[in-house]
Amino acid sequence: MNINNGKFLTAEEVYQDLFKKIETLVYMPGERISEHDLCEVYGISRHILRNAITQLKTLELVTVYPQRGTYVSLIDMKRVEDILFIRESVEQEALHRIMHFSDTTELIRKLEENISVQKKIINHEISIDRFNEADTAFHRNLMDAVGRGNVLSLLKDEYVHVKRWKNFELRDQERFEQIIRDHQLIIDAVREKHPVAGRKALHQHLDTVTNLKNVYIDISPEYFILP
């Protein structure tokens, strides 16, 4: 099946499509992806496909084994853990500063409005993409409040590995509800200006490698490299 609808696809367009499919687990960790099949699907030459594969390889999203083929890389949980450590360090500093604000009324309004959006998403037809967008917006509000809204974008290339992990954990519907509860605890701490409670809530929320280790150790170990 050719999906290009008669349009000539560039290596960049093929790369972006494969990137999204790996990130969203259309292609699961460890899955073999056939160059022959992909050339037919996209209606492209092997040269174009291999340029796209090279970009994915640079980000360590695929592993190419000579004589064996190309495989989607397993999710490296130590790498995920390290990226989340950086993210939490940044957000904890932002939250620390917020606790010293004289007025957090507008920030709390934005955060609560965001939670309302998250609840609507899970109370209707759940969309992981839409929920992730709302979740990202929640945390962006915290960073915007201290004038550092773009800081987390510095992790953009690396963060795809965290997104793969997050898309994996969100296959359990209970995780959506837990994330909303975590967000509410953060809001409550900001409202009460309780730095210890805020720090604890944010750590509990972001330390998913520890909190959900049963997923990659017991339930689905074949998709992961253990930390």
Q: For the segment 177-203, what is each residue's pLDDT rounded down to a tens digit?
A: 999 999 999 999 999 999 999 999 999
**pLDDT for position 173:** 86
Burial of 123 (0-12, 13-18, 19+ CB in 10 A): exposed
pLDDT at 136 over 60: yes
Domains of the chain: 11-73 (1.10.10.10), 76-225 (1.20.120.530)
Question: Per the confidence metrics, is the pTM higher than 0.75?
Answer: yes
pLDDT above 90 coverage of the chain, percent: 88
Q: At 4, is the pLDDT very low, low, confident or very high (cuts 50, 70, 90)?
A: low
pLDDT at 2 over 60: no
Cα separation of 74 and 220, whole Å? 11
Mean pLDDT of 89-102: 98
Q: What angle do helix axes 173-192 and 77-98 make, rounded to 10 degrees?
A: 30
Give the model confidence (pLDDT) of 61-94 as tens digits. 999 998 899 999 999 999 999 999 999 999 999 9
